[in-house]
Structure formats: structure tokens, C-alpha cells
Structure 1
């Protein structure tokens, strides 16, 4: 696979509106070449016997049972509210709605 050239990096930098020095062009060309080669190696993996998956590890949804437990009463929850109305928190009007 041909390597990424300085000119290609310079072109990408112009598209991204980045100013790169000559040293940075050389540095990034090597890094981009390494990245592209690493991604290309993925295609070499033998996958004929591997089923497609959405995640590499099996996932189990852990749920706890719903249990009724003691909690705050409406009065306790509203006790620290700066404003309340009809046993609900009252907040400032937004977007001019009523």
C-alpha cells in the first residue's frame, strides 16, 4: 500500500483550515500512514466462522424488581421549594406559554 505523502497531508490540512509546519507535515504523514495500515489489517482477519454481532462481549440487561419503598411525601418534597402551586413545584413561565 503506498504511503501517505506530505502533499496529501498538506491538502487535508488546507481542507481542515489548519496551518502545519514542514516538520508537522512529515510527522502527520507517518502517523496517518500507520493508522491507515492498521485499519487495512482488519480486512485480513479470518471472519468466515464469526457471526456478525453488535457488541464483542455478551450483554445482559440487569434489572431489579420494582419494590414499593418509603419516600418523601408531597409536602416534604415541596418544603424547600421557593414556590409551589396546587401541590406542585412552580417555575417561571417560559416561551410565553400559559
Structure 2
């Protein structure tokens, strides 16, 4: 793995990302998380060094294997417009609503 010091994730950056993700990390977890993130970024840097000239972008692994999705059932359903459920019927079943939106208890505090 080729890791340069200018791309290293600092402990302060780990704290910042953890706060954004609303994840609490202990003092012992911070350096370990920084090391893990730096390892991931190092692997990505290695991948970026590969010469992909002439390599076509791949959307699905089945294409690389020469499989046709229709022959193996790996197709997605047709994307078609369908009517939505009736709002009044849904709101009538809700435990608490203002008639337009569901009311739910606050679960995240900052």
C-alpha cells in the first residue's frame, strides 16, 4: 500500500466525520478508525494508479462474465408509473398524524 503523509486522515478529521455521522467514538477508537480510513484511502490510491485505458466501464459483473441478464433472471422490473396509495386511507391508519404528515417522536438529539 502506498500511503502519502499529505493524504492521511487526522484524528480531528475522524472526530469531525464521526460527529457528522452522529457516531460516538472512544479515545481508544479514534486512532484505530484513523488507521482504518487511511488504509482504505491507500487502497483507493493503488487502484487509481492502474492503467484502465481501453477498458470499457462495467455496469454489472454479469456483463464481464458474458451472461445475459434475461437468460438468468437478473433483470429489474419495468419502471412504470402507477397510482399511489390514497393519502386519506393511509393517514386514517396512522397512530398520530396532522392529516398530511405522520407525527413521530424525536429520536435524535444533538
Which bin holds the TM-score, normalised by the shorter protein?
A: 0.5 to 0.7
Larger gyration radius, structure 1 or structure 2: 1
Q: Mark the runs of 5 or more structure 1 residues left unpaired by the alignment.
A: 64-94
TM-score (norm 2): 0.51
* CA deviation string 1:37-86 (max 9, x = no partner): 111222111111212232342222317xxxxxxxxxxxxxxxxxxxxxxx
RMSD: 2.3
- Matched with 1:62 is 71
TM-score (norm 1): 0.56
Query: Stretches of 4+ moved more than 6 A in 1?
Result: none
The structure where helix makes up a greater share of residues is 2
Count of matched residue positions in the alignment of Structure 1 and Structure 2: 66
SS in 1 for 2:46: helix
Flag the structure with more relative contact order, 1 or 2, with Cα contacts below 8 A and sequence separation at least 6: 2
